[in-house]
Amino acid sequence: MDADELYGLALDRFVGERTALARELRAGGEREQAGRVAALRKPSVAAWAVNQLVRTQSLGFEELIAAGDALGAAQANLVSGRGDSGSLRAAVERERGAVEALVAIARGLLSGEGHERGGAILDRVADTLHAAALDGLAREEVLGGRLVRELQHAGLGGLAGSGGGGGPVRTSARGARRSGSSKASPVSATKKRATAPAASDKPTEARRPVVAEARRAARIAEAEARRHVDLTARALRVAEARHVRAADALRAADEALANAQAEAKNAAAAHEQAKAELEGLD
């Protein structure tokens, strides 16, 4: 067993197996590695569930990632004027459906292992899956299969709250830093789309302030664009709700008009009948 495999175990076995692995490494003279293993943190229940999903639901995660990419593209197209609200709505529904499908499986995993599967736990699982779909830093961390704490998508391309997965990983709305190494999970091995730049591509000391400023400006622009998309989507939902209410009111008015016309017709007929009867009496 290695450190990566610890995160695939039943949660109640984590501490005991971690201790045994650290002892085995120490006995074999690998004291530094033993220390790293001993320092590994036990996952929360929600993080454990996500780790199991990553390791067992490769097709589900492929759909989650594809749906997240499609939603990002739909948002960008809407901001640039190339897309429309219908495409954005469809992308939102697809991403939500991918998350809900995985959450349903997580419910079964938690139940089968005897863990709490209440709304709060499943909400944290869903938040983490949304983060993986929509945020590149969260996606990398989730697909590693070694989460310690659940994640939450902040809505502007960053993360609000994060947990390192089995190694010194730290993520935030501004960036991420990774040290050490870990064994890649089957999903993460198939999903990496970029490689580290060659040493010759790194900015020189003279260019670093310019590059840093350009990156800062790009982050600000991206955050503003996402804020605009969020506001647009919210306005769209409000407009749709108003449209539904207006349509309901129009149907009710049509029904009231039809009823009034029917009553008027009946009243006119009754009037004519009464008039005829009165004339007959004369």
- Listed residues 152, 174, 192: the one ending a domain: 192
Long-range residue pairs from 74-77, CB within 8 A, at least 24 positions apart, any chain: 75/225, 75/226, 75/229, 76/225
Q: What is the rounded distance in angstroms from the CA atom of residue 33 to the CA atom of residue 46?
A: 27
Same domain, 129 and 179: yes
Same domain, 27 and 108: no
**pTM recorded for the entire structure:** 0.56
Same domain, 21 and 148: no
Provide the domain count of the chain: 2
Owning domain of residue 18: 3-38
Same domain, 142 and 176: yes
Q: What is the pLDDT along the chain (282 residues), one digit of tens a residue?
A: 888 899 999 999 999 999 999 999 999 999 999 999 999 999 999 999 999 999 999 999 999 999 999 999 999 998 888 888 889 999 999 999 999 999 999 998 888 766 666 688 999 999 999 999 999 999 999 999 999 999 986 654 434 333 333 333 333 333 333 333 344 444 444 444 433 344 444 445 555 555 555 666 555 655 655 655 666 666 666 666 666 777 777 778 788 888 888 888 888 888 888 878 777 776
Q: What is the rounded distance in angstroms from the CA atom of residue 70 to the CA atom of residue 67?
A: 5
